[in-house]
A and B are shown apart, each in its own frame.
Chain A
């Protein structure tokens, strides 16, 4: 155990950071179970695992946000007990969170100043901010207000803020989840440079190709336990996935020769003003979706996907009925219930609080979307048996695992709740299914079940619209892919043409060469 890295390449005598038997217990749940991990200087160390594997808990303990229930943390060979994140920062541990903590109405420099503990003047700090951002190739204008910036730029603020404290060790939590492929490439250059300067980086991700490309070491967690520490460059994506999941990942099979039929969902020149301040305005969105077809919508979060979902579902109404046509009927002015009666079904991104009422039972949550058109209500009275039958059928068809027959929605794990929600909608045999982030935060097993269900639904003749930030997911299931940027939707590319390169450019707001667009429009 003295030198656990496979290469034995470290010139340093002791690791920069070492955890010994680190455990964290929440009630009856063991989020981290005796985790040993060594981080060496000049190393990019990947922390791999599915949602709920314990990655976040582990880094929160290392960053001093939570106190471990048992175990030790050693920093530069000395045992430490962190009183909080400010002590971690003082010792040279920095962290960039997946969810940014920025104030929209303050400038970049003001936001950075708020996050720093030092006593330097605002002017000096701004100068240093510009200098750090220049040195590392992370261009930022300190005077701009945050709400005007793209997600990638916001992430830069967080990274620069961490770098201004000159950390020896930097933790990044899924940094590429919100970036276009090109932005991710730029980030990797920065990270390589930080590594060359002798810093250590802990890189949390579940994107295996990325880890193979960037990281020197990978520690894999599963169910709160450490499974393995290995050199990811000597592994295949498949072997890493097996370690993460603890078994084979089911392949998703598309039915070959799917026939497309009549247009079932048509959107004509849909424009909609934002409902909230700093919201996104939808601009002239048009597409046509035929039965038997899956259209994917890619794009960085916050480019109007939520607004599009609200406009398609009827949670927000359009002035002109003809902007949204479901099954040949103008529906832009119809409520979500009326659209459901036309044969549409919807799965929102947020499972708890939007897709379900968290503290209500599954049968009641089946009623939530099924009351309009599923024979669950007779003359205003609820047919409880019918709602329970839906729960049972969803449980059986989509392998929903739960402690009892009809538990509260909030007590299910993310993957099982998502399977229930998707199942609830698919069991209604929709003609059109609009689904947002179908496998976000869902374990690989459940993700495979859900993607297969979407493919099968399309094969049965339904039109399926999938919004996702996961390009691999869209490549796997979509027939055509369009990109959303600043409230506009690009012309769809057929899946075979939609390379990561092209999608990345569209996600970043560049337009493709004219001839390519023309070609794509003809597809």
Chain B
């Protein structure tokens, strides 16, 4: 008797929907084992992670705030991944966007610059993110350099550049030597949706991005080109679609969205530029993209779920002294299971009772 993977005639849409849920279930089982090994009560830990954040209004808003950059970055990444272009450097594009947008905020600080400041920051951040993403894309198209490596390496360049700015030229003179810029002026700040709350305009922008991506992929010829180039490159060339052009395009869109997410985070929830503005949004968004099946609506749901693990991780640290790094372990295990469960979309398990042993015995 043996267990074999058998190819399905057609991809299973049911499994495509259920596979992320199976992956989440398996991740939770693994986490229970992990909590037990750490000597924590697994039930209490799961409660702290997944239930407690959902029980008060402040945490709910905070989930939406954390989900906002995840959605925007993951939507961009999903376009890359659908086109078979592997942008791993969204974290760097996020940081560069934050830096570029902050430049306007820093330069207009204390002046009577008007309402144009925030829109200009958003536009500049998106442009900078796109340009930064074009470096690996063009290296790939022109020289065949692996975009996985180059985009990842550029993350550290962006990280250190931001660090240099806030410790050097842009440091707040009244900031007690902390590596941070001054608080942004109100005209350079993303407005809140509810007075005194946490939700800000960025969440609305994120929803618009989801809708735009859904239309792009489902209704337009460009979206179709992106999907064909990834799914069947030779057929795409036969269709007259230029794969290199689409690599450049998807990297640019993805970089622009990451850069936009960066400036919204800085001029919204954070309020100033400083190191550590991202708890790894650019990397977590990779998990969001795959957990969401590279589908805009799926990504929206997946981003809320992963935002929950960020908030839950903080609560578990406070309440049960579980290290915050366990959240990253959780996210890593989740990606692992998501990719594993995806094989069930095209294959199914089957038990085979081999007749070989029997015939050997008879022969």
Contacts and interface: CB of A to CB of B under 8 A. Distances in A.
A27 B6 contact: yes
B238 A348 contact: yes
B235 A380 contact: no
Contacts of A340: 240
Contacts of B234: 350, 353-354
Nearest to A376: B221
B9 interface: yes
B239 A411 contact: no
Interface in A328-358: 335-337, 340, 346, 348, 350, 353-358
A315 B238 CA distance: 7
Contacts of B9: 410-411
Interface in A92-129: none
A382 B219 contact: yes
B47 to A, nearest CB: 41
A381 B221 contact: yes
B294 to A, nearest CB: 14
Contacts, number: 83
A118 B359 CA distance: 29
The 6 closest A-B pairs by CB, nearest first: A337-B240, A357-B232, A368-B239, A357-B235, A336-B240, A411-B10
A391 B228 CA distance: 18
B326 to A, nearest CB: 37
A96 B331 CA distance: 51
A264 interface: no
Contact of A81 (B220, B227, B232, B360): B360
Contacts of B228: 357, 360, 364, 368
Nearest to B231: A357
B84 to A, nearest CB: 12
Interface string B337-352: 0000000000000100
Contacts of A444: none
Nearest to B362: A79
22 contacts: A27-B6, A315-B238, A336-B237, A337-B240, A350-B234, A353-B234, A354-B234, A355-B238, A357-B228, A357-B231, A357-B235, A364-B228, A367-B221, A368-B235, A369-B238, A371-B239, A380-B222, A381-B219, A382-B219, A382-B220, A410-B9, A411-B9
A491 interface: no
A408 interface: yes
Nearest to B352: A69
Given A69-B355, A381-B220, A411-B10, A81 B363 contact: yes
Contact of B238 (A27, A336, A359, A382): A336
Contacts of A441: none
Nearest to A26: B6
B14 interface: no
B10 A407 contact: yes
Given A81-B360, A336-B240, A411-B9, A353 B219 contact: no
A74 to B, nearest CB: 10
A371 B356 contact: no
B3 to A, nearest CB: 15
B187 interface: no
B321 interface: no
A208 interface: no
B224 interface: yes
Interface of B: 6, 9-11, 219-222, 224, 227-228, 231-232, 234-240, 350, 354-356, 359-360, 363
A367 B238 contact: no
B11 A380 contact: no
A255 interface: no
Interface string A376-395: 01001110000000000000
A371 B6 CA distance: 35
Given A411-B9, A411-B10, A313 B238 contact: yes
Nearest to B8: A27
Interface residues of A, number: 39
A437 interface: no
A81 B362 CA distance: 10
Contacts of B356: 67, 81
Nearest to A367: B224
Interface of A: 27, 67, 69-70, 79-81, 313-315, 335-337, 340, 346, 348, 350, 353-360, 364, 367-369, 371-372, 377, 380-382, 407-408, 410-411
A407 B232 CA distance: 17
Contact of B240 (A80, A335, A354): A335
A220 B80 CA distance: 51
B232 to A, nearest CB: 4
Nearest to B218: A382
A15 B31 CA distance: 63
Nearest to B240: A337
B240 A408 contact: no
A315 B235 contact: no
Given A353-B234, A357-B235, 4 more contacts: A337-B240, A357-B228, A358-B232, A382-B220
Given A81-B356, A81-B363, A371-B239, A359 B224 contact: no
Given A81-B363, A381-B219, A372 B240 contact: yes
A518 B222 CA distance: 52
A364 B227 CA distance: 10
A254 B224 CA distance: 39
Given A81-B360, A364-B224, A380-B220, A410 B10 contact: yes
A377 B9 CA distance: 30
Nearest to A78: B363
Contacts of B222: 380
A377 B221 contact: yes
A408 B10 contact: yes
Given A81-B363, A368-B228, A410-B10, A355 B235 contact: yes
B220 A315 contact: no
A10 B9 CA distance: 45
Contacts of B239: 336, 368-369, 371
B238 A354 contact: yes
A502 to B, nearest CB: 34
A80 B221 contact: no
Nearest to B9: A411
Most chain A C-beta atoms within 10 Å of own C-beta, residue among B6, B227, B237, B356: B237
Contacts of B227: 360
Contact of A70 (B11, B240, B350, B355): B355
Contacts of A368: 228, 235, 238-239
A408 to B, nearest CB: 5
A315 B221 contact: no
A336 B363 CA distance: 60
A364 B217 CA distance: 12
Contacts of B236: 357
Contacts of B219: 381-382
A315 B237 contact: yes
A355 B363 CA distance: 48
Nearest to A357: B232
Nearest to B216: A380
A470 B231 CA distance: 32
A371 B232 contact: no
B95 to A, nearest CB: 33
A380 B231 contact: no
A186 to B, nearest CB: 36
